[in-house]
Amino acid sequence: MHALCLGYLCGLHVLIEDIPGVGKTTLARSLAKSAGLDFGRIQFTPDVLPGDIIGMTVWSQEKRDFVFKPGSIMHQFILADEINRASPRTQAALLEAMQEQRVTVDGTTYSLPDMFFVLATQNPVTFAGTFALPEAEIDRFGISFSMGYPAHADEVDILSRFKEENPEDDLSAVISVPDVLSIRTQVRAMHVSAKIKSYLVNIAKSTRESRLVKLGMSPRATQHLMLASQGEALFSGRHYVTPEDVQNVARYVLVHRINLSGEARMENLTAEKVVQQIIAKVPVPTGLE
pLDDT in tens, 153-169: 988 988 888 877 777 77
Q: Note down the domain range covering 205.
A: 190-281
Same domain, 237 and 146: no
Bridge partners (DSSP) listed for residue 77: 39, 117
Whole-number pLDDT of residue 26:
86
d(CA 105, CA 125): 31
Does the residue 40 lie in any domain? yes
Q: Choose the final residue of a domain: 162, 179, 206.
A: 162
Question: Number of folded domains in the chain?
Answer: 2
Span 99-115, pLDDT tens digits: 999 998 888 899 998 88
Would residue 174 count as lying in a domain?
A: no
Q: Are both 89 and 224 inside the same structural domain?
A: no
39 and 139: one domain?
yes
Last-in-domain residue among 142, 162, 182? 162
Indicate whether 229 belongs to any domain: yes
Within a domain: 184: no
CATH of the domain at 212: 1.10.8.80
Per-residue pLDDT band at 126 (split at 50, 70, 90): low
217 and 123 in one domain?
no
Q: Is residue 126 part of a domain?
A: yes
Q: How many residues does the chain have?
A: 289
The model's pTM: 0.90
* pLDDT at residue 209, rounded to an integer: 93
| Same structural domain, 30 and 152 | yes
Same structural domain, 10 and 120: yes
Mean pLDDT to the nearest integer, 85-104: 88
> Is the domain of 132 the same as that of 245?
no
Same domain for 228 and 116, yes or no, is: no
